[in-house]
Amino acid sequence: MEKLIITGVNGLLGQKVLEHAHGKYEILGIDLHDEPIQRKSKFSYRKLDLTMRKAVKELILGYHPHYLVHTAAMTDVDGCETQKELCWKVNVEATDNIAYAARKTGTKIVHLSSDYVFDGKSGPYSEADLPQPLGYYGKAKLASENILIAMEVEHATVRTMVLYGSALNVRFNFVTWLVEKLKKGEPVKIVTDQFGSPTLADDLAHAIIRIIEQQKWDLFHISGSEIIDRYNCALKIAEVFKLNKNLISSVTTPELSQTALRPLKSGFIITKAETELGIKMANVEDGLKRVRKQDRRFLFF
């Protein structure tokens, strides 16, 4: 059985990749926690700081994986703007450490990146569009993409956006955060001028495994099939989860005074991924219904 390493295995996407890869590969999961969160799937686990070059090299050379799915990242875009050194270490240096070792073992990498490599002035974007990041997070993710190219490691880069879904003990994403707020009867302000393609983590994990199965080592834009602004997405969440829409009010991005600039008019053209990988990405409503069905916390309201 071929060997697979999943970095960030305790995160939302890491857990979903684990579910989709289970039974197909011998799996080693890596994260910063002492123990794995997911216990249902059979896999090995190692606590590892990916910024430690020697430790990363020893692990990859010792395990000698055929594939590595790199989901681990610092994704707090405001935090990346205020903690630039940490952002660079986690998002760029860690990728360099992985690529250095993978080159020696011939390991093929699926690397996760972001729509934040674009400025959000002319979305939706295809793989042919020229990146132009606004903030430090986007600059770091673009640098991580370029490392894999420069190192000449066989890889696929998957850019995605607005990832949501349900998994064990993961931090809030836009959907789960909003549901919890509305459940408590708390009013929320949601922006009307940030457009993107919300992406169901289950669909993205399936697409990642398809890349490996079909040996498609290329650049792919993979996101949900629908482009929508955050405010109308929030209204759709309230509708699907049968919560009070009146708690949601609209606001514009400048009114929020967020630390990092956001790509306002984003979204992906996903024709290449759907055609070459044979996948179908969910729209917002269908994806939300699947999350509600998966998570028992959401079945009783």
For residue 301, pLDDT over 60 is answered with no
Q: What pLDDT, on the 0 to 100 scale, is given for residue 127?
A: 98
Based on the structure, what is the number of domains in the chain?
2
Both 85 and 204 in one domain: the answer is yes
Both 99 and 155 in one domain: the answer is yes
CATH code of the domain in which 30 resides? 3.40.50.720
Both 208 and 189 in one domain: the answer is no
Both 180 and 133 in one domain: the answer is no
CATH code of the domain in which 187 resides? 3.90.25.10
> What's the pLDDT tens digit per position in 7-31?
999 999 999 999 999 999 999 999 9
In a domain, 275, yes or no: no
Both 212 and 287 in one domain: the answer is no
Both 73 and 190 in one domain: the answer is no
In a domain, 271, yes or no: no
Both 80 and 187 in one domain: the answer is no
Both 127 and 35 in one domain: the answer is yes
In a domain, 141, yes or no: yes
Q: At what angle do helices 53-63 and 94-105 cross, to 10 degrees?
A: 30
Compute CA distances 15 → 9, 30, 72, 140, whole Å: 5, 11, 11, 24
Both 258 and 207 in one domain: the answer is no
Both 112 and 259 in one domain: the answer is no
In a domain, 57, yes or no: yes
Q: What pLDDT, on the 0 to 100 scale, is given for residue 41?
A: 79
Both 256 and 208 in one domain: the answer is no
Give mean pLDDT, residues 145-150.
Answer: 98
For residue 299, pLDDT over 50 is answered with no
In a domain, 94, yes or no: yes
For residue 295, pLDDT over 90 is answered with no
> What's the pLDDT tens digit per position in 225-276?
999 999 999 999 999 999 999 999 999 999 988 999 999 999 999 999 999 9
Nearest to 190 by CA among 233, 223, 224, 161: 233
Instruction: For residue 42, name the pLDDT band (cuts at 50, 70, 90).
Output: confident
In a domain, 274, yes or no: no
- Give the C-alpha separation, 266 to 84, whole Å: 24
Both 19 and 75 in one domain: the answer is yes
In a domain, 185, yes or no: yes
- The pTM of the full predicted model, rounded to 2 decimals, is 0.96
In a domain, 155, yes or no: yes
Domain that holds residue 114: 3-164+198-221
Compute CA distances 225 → 63, 229, 282, whole Å: 37, 13, 6
For residue 94, pLDDT over 60 is answered with yes
> What's the pLDDT tens digit per position in 52-93?
999 999 999 999 999 999 999 999 999 999 999 999 999 999
> Which amino acid is located at 292 in the chain?
R
For residue 300, pLDDT over 70 is answered with no
